[in-house]
């Protein structure tokens, strides 16, 4: 089973939609699993081109997957490049070590593929697996730690029902935005199924 943010290899040009832009063929090396409801036997994926504007939502057959890299597999990958997002990752490894976390976004893509996706102003995107509720005070403490890193850090809390931004869960708002396969929902408790 694959989850949002996993990186997959095996998609071919034949799997692309008929109206896919030309850059998408070059972007088929690795695709990222996204949240969406798709037909049985298929996986919702996103392709990323060289520029930020080059993003494409697509689907690929489960049977085409040749390799899968999960965000947790990238925690200890070290890059020779010296950029704030990678410096932040170095700073946070020991702090996050006891937790079930992983690297996503541009940093995860670069660490998994070797393709330079980060730049000097890139944020560091992380995911924290939270099968059980994270107390909001603990979320504030964790956020305070992340806010001392070398660049902005965006952490998503992955609950059994979707993902919520740590920054939002640590905030004062009673309702938070839970991202699910069926869309985004404002909820009081991201650890409860959306009605």
Candidate list 6, 26, 90, 125, residue with the active-site label: 125
Q: Are the C-beta atoms of 34 and 58 separated by less than 8 Å?
A: no
b/e burial code for range 122-140 (CB count within 10 A of at least 16 → b): bbbbbbbbbeeebeeeebe
123 part of the active site: yes
CA-nearest of 151, 142, 158, 144 to 102 is 158
Candidate list 6, 26, 82, 123, residue with the active-site label: 123
26 part of the active site: no
- Which tokens is 128 given? 């924290």
The residue assigned the tokens 């850059």 is 23
Catalytic residues: 123, 125
């Amino acid at each position: 089973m694959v989850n949002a943010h996993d990186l997959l290899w095996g998609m071919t040009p034949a799997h692309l939609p008929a109206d896919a832009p030309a850059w998408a063929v070059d972007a088929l090396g690795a695709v990222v699993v996204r949240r969406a409801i798709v037909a049985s036997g298929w996986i919702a994926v996103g392709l990323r081109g060289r520029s930020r504007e080059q993003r494409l939502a697509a689907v690929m057959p489960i049977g085409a997957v040749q390799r899968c890299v999960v965000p947790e597999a990238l925690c200890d990958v070290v890059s020779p490049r010296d950029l704030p997002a990678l410096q932040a990752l170095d700073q946070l490894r020991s702090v996050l070590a006891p937790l079930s976390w992983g690297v996503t976004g541009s940093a995860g893509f670069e660490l998994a593929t070797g393709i330079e996706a980060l730049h000097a102003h890139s944020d560091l995107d992380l995911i924290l697996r939270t099968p059980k509720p994270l107390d909001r005070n603990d979320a504030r403490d964790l956020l305070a730690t992340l806010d001392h890193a070398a660049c902005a850090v965006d952490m998503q809390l992955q609950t059994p029902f979707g993902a919520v931004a740590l920054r939002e869960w640590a905030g004062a708002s009673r309702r938070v935005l839970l991202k699910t396969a069926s869309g985004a929902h404002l909820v009081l408790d991201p650890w409860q199924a959306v009605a």
